[in-house]
Amino acid sequence: MQIDFRSDTVTQPTSSMKEFMFKAPLGDDVFGEDPSIVQLEEETAQQFNHEAGLFCPSGTMTNQIALAVHTRPREEVICHKNSHIYLYEGGGPAFLSSVSLRLLEGDYGRITAEAIEENINPENVHFPRTRLVSLENTMNKGGGSCYDLEEIRKIRKSCQKHGLSLHLDGARIFNACIAKGYSTQEIGQEFDSISICFSKGLGAPVGSVLVGSEAFIHEARRVRKVLGGGMRQGGILASAAFYALNHHVDRLAEDHRRAKEMGDVLKHCEWIQFLYPIETNIIIFEVGSPFSGAQVIEQLSALGIRCAGFGKMHVRFVFHLDISEEQHQHAMTVIQNFQPQ
Ligand SMILES: *Cc1c(COP(=O)(O)O)cnc(C)c1O
């Protein structure tokens, strides 16, 4: 049995999803005429209490478009030092927006209103002008950690006080909503823009939506075109995302339950030095010496369990739609009996 815990991006579209895609009405979206894309954009925007949405091929594109619209060259963006926009988007902020990033420390990838206030540059010719704060929720490199709504509201207040915009990399925002019990509406209204991925735990093959005000999305649409993201009959893809939005959100709770159960197994493994708190569908742990992350990954792979490395000593497991209860139970048994050599 092969069980793939490397990422929640490895899922295959279900047969019902494919049937729904086949039937999707299509049109030329650059002319604004693809009904399936329009439907997904409107539905997503509405769910997050925003005026408009923009369908893009990836979450990297929705994040980078947001940065490009919120900022001007030479300005600065505040984010956590392990943010996806900084670590995993190919230097996009420098290349596409000519902005600098102010990288903050913070508990499991979360930054605080207090730390943000301390890092806003004063008006002085030496310093780049602070323009935007970008949060990530859930935080991938923080082990799927989530923000409390209270902290987000504090951050929102600080941003308003200092004239800063607030963006959310919400690649896994539905996981955060389910784990924390806040609604998409409540969280949505605290941000000026949100990037939402459908190709993670929701199981669509492709696609992210950026939501914001009408004026913001109008500009974002211009940037998307420049980046080559203006797709024509893209509704064939948007319909899969729409299907996921309507059928695959509630089941994320199951991924969370399984991650916690797996965590209970990992807690007792003596070869693990440190297990991050498990809040959602991601597990990160640090392997204890003399073993390394690479050794653990290779030896588990030989037993049919695939997982991913994060640096030299860290290993990541991600739960998703394509891991069945049977596979989950099997994986726990294998890991219970596993000892790296
Ligand atoms: C996956 C992911 C993205 C977007 O990645 P793409 O592969 O470009 O869709 C953005 N932020 C986070 C935290 C992610 O996990």
Residues 141 and 164 in one domain: yes
CA of 171 to the centre of ligand 1 (A): 6
Residues 75 and 214 in one domain: yes
Spatial separation of the C-alpha atoms in residues 134 and 42, rounded to whole Å: 23
* Residue 312, CA atoms < 13 Å, CB-side half-sphere: 4
Residues 238 and 289 in one domain: no
Residue to substitute in 10, 197, 208 for testing ligand 1 pocket (most ligand atoms within 8 angstroms of CB):
197
Domain presence at residue 121: yes
* Ligand 1 residue neighbourhood (C-beta within 6 Å): 58-60, 63, 84, 136, 140, 169, 171, 197, 199-200, 208
- Phi, psi angle pair for 298, to nearest 5°: -65, -45
CA of 209 to the centre of ligand 1 (A): 12
Spatial separation of the C-alpha atoms in residues 76 and 78, rounded to whole Å: 7
Tallying the residues shown for the chain, one arrives at 341
Do residues 307 and 316 make contact, with C-beta atoms less than 8 angstroms apart? yes
Tokens of 187: 């969280």
Residues 120 and 173 in one domain: yes
- Predicted local distance difference test score (pLDDT) of residue 1: 82
pTM of the model: 0.97
Residues 89 and 228 in one domain: yes
CATH number of the domain to which 287 belongs:
3.90.1150.10
Which candidate, 211, 219, 171, places its Cα nearest to that of 192? 211
**Domains of the chain: total:** 2
Containing domain of residue 20, as a range? 14-247
Q: Is the peptide bond before 138 cis (omega within 30 degrees of 0)?
A: yes
Query: Which of 247, 281, 311 delimits the end of a domain?
Result: 247
Domain presence at residue 9: no
Residues 308 and 175 in one domain: no
User: Mean pLDDT per segment of 10 residues, for the chain of length 341 residues?
Assistant: 95 97 98 97 98 98 98 98 98 98 98 98 98 98 98 98 98 98 98 98 97 98 98 98 98 98 97 98 97 96 96 96 97 97 91
CA of 8 to the centre of ligand 1 (A): 11
CA of 57 to the centre of ligand 1 (A): 11
